[in-house]
Amino acid sequence: MLVRIGKADCKRGPLEKRLRRAKFILQLIITASRPLYVHEIQGALAINLEEQNVDFGGRYSTLPLDDLCGPIIQIHKNDLVEMIHPTAKE
């Protein structure tokens, strides 16, 4: 899936950063015990463990999550994010 994301439109930011973010977001969604909301994923992106800080203003995805992760995720009208199909988690 990440290879497919890497082949997406590269005009939307540095490829390496996009791949890292996409991988992190997919890991969050796959390992979560319940569907997550967009704001919860954005909050997780704001955490920097190396610097031990949280920066909600500077560390978030400016790209829509479904653009970043591709067609494997679905964002519902209530901002709930899920894998497009339950078997995609496997």
Q: What is the pLDDT of residues 37-89, one digit of tens each?
A: 999 998 898 888 788 888 777 666 667 888 888 888 999 999 999 998 766 65
Q: How far is CA 82 from CA 22, 47, 57, 59, in A?
A: 14, 21, 25, 22
SS3 state at 1: coil
Model pLDDT, residue 79: 93
Please report, as a single letter, which amino acid is at residue 26: L
Q: Looking at the whole model, is its pTM more than 0.85?
A: no
Considering only residues 36 and 62, tell me which one the structure prediction assigns the higher pLDDT: 36
- Which residue in this structure is represented by tokens 């479904």? 66
Model pLDDT, residue 46: 87
Confidence check: pLDDT of 3 > 70: no
What pairs with residue 53 in β-bridges? 48
Q: Is the dihedral of CA 65, 71, 74, 41 positive or negative?
A: negative
Model pLDDT, residue 68: 83
Task: Decide: 82 and 29 in contact? Cβ < 8 Å.
Answer: yes
